[in-house]
Amino acid sequence: MTIFAFVARALLAGAIVAAVALIARRSPVAGAVVASLPLVSVLGMIFLWRDTHDPERLASHAGATLWYVIPSLPMFALIPALLRHGISFWASLATGCALTVLLYLATAIIAARFGVTL
């Protein structure tokens, strides 16, 4: 991949994040809807396909994405709960991220016991 392609991809991903933030300022629900769309995942799959044209690699990537989305979901329940109980934003965010990392590790360990390689 050229540096130009990398920068273009980074700018596109950054624009999506910036758009979510702008939309959420006007409407938190609308921002959440846009943020919940798998835009970055879809773009990643498009870029991976363009770069490799490897169906097995893309299938593996998409399957692993599914398994890692599941343990990330509790973060979106924990952070609002902590914020509503007076915990600071940064502490809530750090706790939510730490929970997600722990759940990612647990997911990989449990998946491996069932023969799923992530």
Q: What is the pLDDT of residues 61-104, one digit of tens each?
A: 999 999 999 999 999 999 999 999 999 999 999 999 999 999 99
d(CA 29, CA 40): 19
87-108 per-residue burial string, b: 16 or more CB within 10 A, e: under 16: beeeebbeebeebbeebbeebb
| Per-residue pLDDT tens over the stretch 39-51 | 889 999 999 999 9
**Positive or negative torsion for Cα 48, 49, 55, 59:** positive
Phi, psi of 91 (to 5 degrees): -70, -40
Q: Which residue carries 């990392």 as its tokens?
A: 101
Half-sphere exposure of 92 (CA within 13 A, CB side): 15
Whole-prediction pTM value? 0.78
